[in-house]
């Protein structure tokens, strides 16, 4: 609120009048939040009386102010797509998420709950994430150069930022976008035994990468893979995946990955709506888009 004062010189001055109503409080909270981030202040700098209470009591209070749209459905949240080339040295925000389009406004967090201070922001988010369905979107990619040597083990990688996500422990669904590069030493029309051996080794490497990412996620309910193949011969000619290749890849995943996925999906039998029996389903297809070939699996 602003008060207008008239002086004898017929000039007007604007003097701010601090009140507890209107948008001022929101602006003040936002200012404090920006100062915390800018100056890297501790949460106690802009303290709240709520922080004097034990954490268990704070959690109960926070539960009462979280949105409730009177439905049994959990709000569906999504992380951004964490590309494999997102460098760990870059200052990404790790607590950012988005809502699925069907999530009603009543089920979404009120922005003012996140503007008190950093500690309460983290606690509000944690309580909200605990009751949500969160899908992690992450890319895994291997280097085609690692498959050119007979003894090299082709390795997959992902952005290490994923391991810093504060909502990781509450993730219920994972969607992997896999870029699978492969240069085969087999000549056109040559033996398929070497290709199958390479597939097995690459699948093993992929599983190690996935294990590292999924270990901090105890609440997983589904795992989806969308694989983008860039396969070629040593001569540079593109390798066209056939349905036989996809069936062989499915066999490789069943041997190398299925048991691990089932352990992950069934490890928390009393989780949030998790089925007692977990299963892995496969839907394989090939689609050529220039040099891209696509297949997908769902667990």
Q: Please report, for the chain, the start and end positions of each structural domain, with discontinuous segments joined by +.
A: 50-298
Supply the pLDDT for residue 2.
Answer: 43
Residue 169 has pLDDT above 80, yes or no: yes
Mean pLDDT of the region 86-96: 79
Collapsing DSSP states into helix, strand and coil, what is residue 192?
coil
Q: Report d(CA 15, CA 2) in Å as an integer.
A: 6
In the numeric block, which tokens belong to residue 29? Answer: 């909270």
CA neighbor of 242 nearest in space, from 186, 287, 188, 193? 287
Q: Report d(CA 78, CA 98) in Å as an integer.
A: 5
Cβ-contact 156, 118 below 8 angstroms: no
Instruction: Kindly state the helix (H) or strand (E) to which residue 82 belongs, with its residue range.
Output: strand 76-82
pLDDT confidence tier of residue 132, bands split at 50, 70 and 90 = very high
CA neighbor of 154 nearest in space, from 139, 135, 141? 141
Whole-Å CA distances, 297 to 33, 122, 228, 279: 42, 34, 12, 12
Q: Report d(CA 171, CA 220) in Å as an integer.
A: 6
Cβ-contact 200, 256 below 8 angstroms: yes
Q: What is the mean pLDDT of the chain?
A: 76
- pLDDT tens digit sequence for 261-291: 777 776 544 444 444 445 566 665 555 655 5
**For 250, what's the count of Cα atoms within 13 Å in the CB-facing half-sphere?**
18
Q: Report d(CA 218, CA 194) in Å as an integer.
A: 37
Whole-Å CA distances, 292 to 153, 162, 180, 220, 239: 23, 26, 10, 29, 10
Q: Report d(CA 110, CA 68) in Å as an integer.
A: 11
Pairing between β-strand 12-16 and β-strand 76-82 as defined by DSSP bridges: unpaired
pLDDT confidence tier of residue 193, bands split at 50, 70 and 90 = confident
Mean pLDDT of the region 171-179: 92
Segment among 185-194, 200-209, 277-286 with least mean pLDDT: 277-286
pTM for this prediction: 0.74
CA 240 to chain centroid, in Å, comes to: 31
CA end-to-end span of the chain, whole Å?
57
In the numeric block, which tokens belong to residue 6? Answer: 């008239």
Which residues, in sequence order, are bridge partners of residue 135? 78, 173
Supply the pLDDT for residue 286.
Answer: 56
């Amino acid at each position: 609120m602003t008060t207008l004062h008239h002086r004898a010189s017929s000039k007007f001055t604007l003097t701010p009048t601090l009140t507890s109503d209107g948008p001022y409080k929101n602006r003040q909270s936002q200012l404090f939040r920006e100062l915390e981030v800018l100056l890297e202040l501790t949460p106690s700098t802009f303290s709240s009386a709520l922080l004097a209470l034990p954490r268990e009591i704070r959690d109960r209070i926070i539960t009462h102010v979280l949105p409730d749209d009177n439905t049994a459905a959990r709000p569906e949240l999504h992380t951004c797509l964490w590309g494999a080339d997102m460098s760990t040295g870059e200052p990404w925000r790790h607590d950012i998420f988005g809502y699925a389009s069907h999530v009603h406004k009543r089920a979404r967090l009120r922005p003012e709950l996140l503007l008190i201070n950093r500690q309460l922001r983290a606690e509000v988010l944690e309580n909200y994430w605990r009751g949500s369905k969160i899908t992690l979107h992450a890319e895994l990619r291997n280097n085609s150069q690692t498959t050119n040597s007979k003894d090299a083990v082709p390795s997959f990688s992902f952005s290490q930022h994923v391991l810093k996500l504060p909502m990781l422990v509450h993730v219920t669904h994972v969607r992997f976008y896999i870029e699978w590069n492969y240069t085969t030493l087999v000549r056109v029309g040559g033996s398929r035994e070497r290709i199958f051996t390479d597939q097995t080794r690459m699948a093993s490497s992929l599983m190690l990468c996935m294990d590292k990412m999924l270990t901090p996620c105890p609440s997983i309910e589904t795992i989806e893979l969308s694989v983008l193949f860039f396969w070629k011969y040593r001569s540079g000619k593109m390798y066209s995946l056939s349905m036989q290749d996809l069936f062989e890849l499915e066999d490789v995943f069943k041997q190398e990955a299925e048991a691990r996925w089932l352990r992950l999906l069934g490890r928390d039998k009393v989780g949030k709506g998790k089925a007692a029996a977990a299963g892995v389903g496969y839907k394989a297809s090939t689609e050529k888009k220039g040099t891209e070939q696509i297949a997908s699996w769902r667990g």
